[in-house]
């Protein structure tokens, strides 16, 4: 748990670094757009300001997610980082749709941008956003991953601007700008929507995709004195910390010492399967299993 907490603190610091970097560059970009009279750079400045709002909220929510459990949130505040991921996704999707609405008309009515100004800002944009991406390359949480897509979107966008500006320095082909913008926007939208689907799956307490429920139950049933398992439920707090609850049925001859050995064996099994928190109820074969107001036989394998 200490390692996870330290890693998440690192995610929060890296998101904070990306936020400051993105906000400063957005201000510079806005001023540069006015100075060069470039609509494309001004539009990207607006997009970067939106990114800064998303990054700022992600940073604050990631910091909040470091709080330990209390009376309000007994599992802790880790799921708040998912809220940051959702906000970031909305901003990215909105920004990409905005770019598409601007790029599509220019396919039919292309405008020649100011190539030297585009080139200069493209170099700076790649350097600034690239530095932020490198800081976030080893992140693990869904919030930090979504932020990384924010920055990757900007890197790819500036790379396209760089390529277009170089071509435009030598030849007037204004349609290149909207074509590349559309390709990049569609690519970013595809990846963000895929990540958003995973985030919503966590919110809805779906079984983590990297979890083998049948394998876990099989390993538990292989333990000494274990007859069966049932009511096994697995979900994730934030995409990295998984939680499991299950009922383990033991034979009637299991002693206290047997149960203590079994508990340690179960702990090791669940740890090997990547479970960060577990609640295991031990039941004897002739004992009635009660789930809320409903009862079932301990040999019932329904979940």
pLDDT along the chain (303 residues), means of 10: 46 70 80 66 66 70 70 74 76 80 82 79 84 68 63 76 84 79 79 83 86 93 92 86 92 90 94 91 82 47 43
Alpha carbon distance 230, 301 (integer Å): 5
The pLDDT of residue 229 is 92
Residue range(s) in the chain whose domain bears CATH number 3.30.70.1350: 213-296
For position 18, what pLDDT does the model report?
73
Q: What local confidence, expressed as pLDDT, does residue 269 receive?
A: 95
Give the Cα separation of 46 and 29 in Å (integer).
9
Q: What is the pLDDT of residue 243?
A: 92
Q: Show the tokens assigned to 236.
A: 């994730």
Q: What is the pLDDT of residue 218?
A: 94
pLDDT at position 203 is: 84
pLDDT at position 54, please?
Answer: 65
What per-residue confidence (pLDDT) applies to 21? 78
User: Which DSSP state fits 205?
Assistant: T
Is the dihedral angle over the CA atoms 163, 169, 171, 172 positive or is it negative? positive
Fold entry, domain 213-296: Alpha-Beta Plaits (3.30.70)
The DSSP secondary-structure symbol of 291 reads E
The CATH number of 2-203 is 1.20.1510.10
Give the model's pLDDT for residue 196.
84
Burial (CB count <10 Å: 0-12, 13-18, 19+), residue 109: exposed
Looking at the chain, the domain(s) classified CATH 1.20.1510.10 span 2-203
pTM above 0.85, yes or no: no
């Amino acid at each position: 748990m200490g390692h996870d907490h330290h890693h998440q603190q690192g995610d929060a610091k890296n998101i904070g670094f990306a936020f400051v970097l993105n906000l400063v560059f957005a201000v510079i970009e806005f001023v540069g757009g006015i100075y060069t009279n470039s609509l494309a750079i001004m539009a990207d400045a607006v997009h970067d300001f939106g990114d800064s709002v998303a990054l700022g909220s992600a940073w604050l929510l990631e910091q909040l997610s470091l709080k330990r459990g209390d009376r309000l949130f007994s599992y802790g505040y880790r799921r708040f980082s998912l809220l940051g991921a959702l906000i970031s996704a909305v901003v990215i999707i909105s920004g990409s749709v905005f770019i598409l609405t601007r790029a599509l008309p220019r396919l039919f009515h292309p405008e020649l941008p100011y190539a030297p100004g585009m080139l200069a800002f493209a170099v700076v944009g790649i350097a600034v956003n690239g530095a932020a991406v490198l800081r976030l390359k080893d992140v693990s949480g869904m919030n930090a991953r979504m932020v990384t897509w924010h920055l990757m979107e900007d890197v790819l966008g500036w790379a396209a601007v760089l390529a277009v500006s170089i071509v435009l320095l030598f030849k007037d082909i204004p349609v290149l700008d909207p074509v590349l913008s559309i390709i990049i926007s569609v690519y970013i939208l595809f990846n963000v929507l895929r990540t958003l689907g995973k985030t919503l799956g966590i919110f809805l307490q779906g079984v983590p995709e990297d979890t083998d429920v049948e394998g876990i139950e099989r390993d538990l049933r292989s333990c000494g004195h274990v007859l069966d398992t049932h009511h096994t439920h697995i979900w994730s707090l934030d995409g990295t910390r998984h939680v499991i609850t299950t009922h383990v049925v033991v034979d009637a001859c299991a002693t206290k010492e047997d149960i203590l050995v079994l508990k340690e064996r179960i702990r090791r099994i669940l740890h090997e399967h990547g479970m960060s928190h577990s609640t295991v109820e031990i039941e004897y074969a002739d004992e009635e299993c009660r789930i809320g107001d409903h009862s079932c036989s301990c040999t019932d394998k329904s979940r």
